[in-house]
Amino acid sequence: MTMETKILNIDKDNIDEDLIGQAADILKRGGIVAFPTETVYGLGANGLDEEAVKKIYKAKGRPSDNPLILHISSKEELSPLVKEIPHKAKACMERFWPGPLTLVFKKSDIIPDIITGGLDTVAIRMPDHPIAKKLISKSGLPIAAPSANLSGKPSPTKANHVIEDMMGKIDMILDGGDTGLGLESTVLDLSTEVPTILRPGGVTLEDLKVIIPNVIQDSSITNKQDTPKSPGQKYRHYAPKADMLLFVGDIDKVVEEINKRTKDLRESGRKVGIMATEETRNKYKDGKILVVGSREDKETIAHNLFHILRSFDEAEVDIILAEGVSPDNIGMAIMNRMVKAANGNIIRL
């Protein structure tokens, strides 16, 4: 079944209140609206309305045991949604909200099960984007908003990505230009004894250690054998249509191996995509070469990664050979997404 999807252009530096009002009305009436945040585009619905939230799962084709993040526009909106606000949460909110940090709390009774996938905890974040903030505050509701892509595909960082995946399935798309960070938020569980990162993201382990020195990462992030504590982390994500191989290790060896494999693969008739970086671009000769960013400035790689994955699909390559990055700071979140996109196919050199 298809429906009419309205697309509105909004200038994030000069927001048209009337357009935000139209979008907020849709949310209040139980509809769904895609909107930009500083991480990726979100697919929003009234987080307290079970029927509205069902529409998100349906539009995305998202498994129902993968819980959603609630988005708020001010810290005051938090307390009705949670049982308690631990000390550590206050410190994190003080330092990182608004921003790309999602906190997991013990949930209050007003949160429907469909949001939490039946868990007794709820994930909440306050985005740092003028359009997202205005839309949430105008609706007066906590807004459930997963990434606005079809489940399994790379998350959307441009309105065009949302149009590709959601046209005819949702009520409205707010086109506010490219998102900033380009990767999703960090998910930090504060409902247990030891604060634990369930998904690496925009706020890094290094950043968090300054505020909560005993923070750890869920072991499933670095060890594939372990079952993730966060339900969504067990699914294949960010997957391009092509196969993908991820090469990690000494960068000169990585380049040499990618060149060798490109030659072999092309000889056997396969269309090869190479995900290169500015520093290595000129060392590749054959294949569809796309530059994801600079190794010296990994934020650029975070910003472009999902778009580049979608661009390889458009170029209809059969296989993507990608350079990994070192997993420090934002590199941890980048590698987490790359490993999933490659379905765990890592070549260590």
The residue nearest ligand AMP at its CB is 232
DSSP codes of every residue in 9-72: E--TTS--HHHHHHHHHHHHTT--EEE--SSS-EEEEETT-HHHHHHHHHHHT--TTS--EEE-
Q: Does 184 bind ligand AMP (CB under 6 A)?
A: yes
Q: Does 153 bind ligand AMP (CB under 6 A)?
A: no
Q: Which is nearer to ligand AMP, 56 or 248 (CB)?
A: 56
What amino acid occupies position 198?
Answer: L
Stretch that binds Mg ion, among 5-13, 147-155, 208-216, 283-291 (CB under 5 A): 147-155
C-alpha to C-alpha distance for 240 and 149, rounded to whole angstroms: 12
Dihedral sign of CA atoms 110, 116, 120, 125 in order: negative
Given candidates 146, 154, 180, 293, which one binds ligand AMP under the rule CB under 6 A?
146
C-alpha to C-alpha distance for 71 and 106, rounded to whole angstroms: 16
Using DSSP, state whether 297 is helix, strand or coil. strand
DSSP codes of every residue in 303-339: HHHHHHHHHHHHTT-SEEEEE----STHHHHHHHHHH
Given candidates 23, 27, 32, 187, which one binds ligand AMP under the rule CB under 6 A?
187
Q: HSE, CB side, 13 Å, CA atoms: give it for residue 166.
A: 36
Classify residue 267 by burial, with Cβ atoms within 10 Å: 0-12, 13-18, 19+.
Answer: exposed
Token pair 């260590």 in the structure block, residue: 348
Site string for Mg ion, 39-68 (x = CB under 5 A): ------------------------------
Given candidates 116, 121, 147, 186, which one binds Mg ion under the rule CB under 5 A?
147
Query: What are the two backbone dihedrals, phi and then psi, of residue 296, each rounded to the nearest 5 degrees?
Result: -80, -20
Shortest distance (Å) from residue 184 CB to ligand AMP: 5
- How many residues make contact with ligand AMP (CB under 6 A)? 20
Q: Does 239 bind ligand AMP (CB under 6 A)?
A: no
The residue nearest Mg ion at its CB is 147
Q: Does 336 bind Mg ion (CB under 5 A)?
A: no
Using DSSP, state whether 246 is helix, strand or coil. strand
Stretch that binds ligand AMP, among 118-126, 203-211, 287-295, 301-309 (CB under 6 A): 118-126
Q: Please measure the distance between the N-terminal and C-terminal CA atoms of the chain and give it in whole angstroms.
A: 48
Q: Which is nearer to Mg ion, 147 or 280 (CB)?
A: 147
Q: Does 122 bind ligand AMP (CB under 6 A)?
A: yes
Find the binding residues for ligand AMP in span 45-64 (CB under 6 A).
none
Q: Does 116 bind ligand AMP (CB under 6 A)?
A: yes
Q: Which is nearer to Mg ion, 170 or 274 (CB)?
A: 170
Site string for ligand AMP, 207-226 (x = CB under 6 A): --------------------
* Sites of contact with ligand AMP (CB under 6 A): 66-69, 104, 116, 119, 121-123, 146-147, 184, 187, 198-199, 230-233
* Sites of contact with Mg ion (CB under 5 A): 147
